[in-house]
């Protein structure tokens, strides 16, 4: 009889721990990312970013927009400019989205003593939109139509930023 109660209690604890992880881990990840950014710890922040996936998502979006603009223009000079832009996309995105560029950005950001700290993203403006057990999006619900979003994917029991969707 005692073994049965212990098994039920153990199962309930496992379920509670799983539910806690499911609902709490996105917030914990975002908190850790914000703390690393405020401390200008590029290495800690980089642990939460899947750079290859973010770079690919940005390249695809930029290529699609340049191609659409070229098609809409229909002008030979615009097509030449678009082709030049397309040839530069990969190199630009690769150089801009990297751990070393993040370190450089933190190193060059001005130190403002006594200034009011205002986060770039306010938690009151943002909402976590769960997409099953392996993905969540960070969105601004008031600007969802025109705004961008950050997409996080599960890696083990933690989360990594895997996609940045730029606004239209």
> Which residues pair with residue 159 across a beta bridge?
154
First to last CA, the chain: 62
Q: Identify the pLDDT of residue 121.
A: 47
Segment 11-31 mean pLDDT: 84
Confidence band for 159, pLDDT divided at 50, 70 and 90 = very high
What is the full DSSP assignment across 111-158?
Answer: P-TTPPP--SS-TTT-EEEE-TTSEEEEE-GGGTTT--EEEEEEETTE
Taking the C-alpha atoms of residue 114 and residue 14, their distance in angstroms, rounded to an integer, is: 46
Q: At what angle do helices 51-73 and 76-96 cross, to 10 degrees?
A: 170
């Amino acid at each position: 009889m005692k073994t049965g109660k212990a098994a039920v209690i153990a199962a309930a604890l496992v379920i509670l721990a799983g539910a806690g992880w499911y609902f709490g881990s996105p917030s914990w990840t975002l908190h850790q990312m914000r703390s690393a950014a405020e401390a200008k710890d590029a290495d800690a922040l980089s642990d939460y970013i899947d750079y290859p996936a973010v770079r690919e998502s940005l390249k695809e979006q930029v290529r699609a927009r340049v191609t659409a603009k070229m098609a809409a223009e229909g002008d030979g000079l615009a097509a030449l400019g678009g082709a030049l832009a397309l040839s530069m996309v990969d190199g630009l995105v690769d150089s801009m989205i990297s751990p070393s560029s993040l370190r450089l950005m933190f190193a060059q950001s001005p130190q403002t003593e006594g200034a009011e700290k205002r986060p770039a993203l306010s938690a009151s403006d943002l909402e976590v939109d769960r997409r099953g057990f392996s993905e969540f999006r960070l969105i601004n619900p008031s600007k969802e139509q025109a705004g961008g979003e950050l997409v996080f994917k599960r890696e083990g029991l933690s989360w990594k930023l895997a996609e940045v969707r730029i606004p239209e």
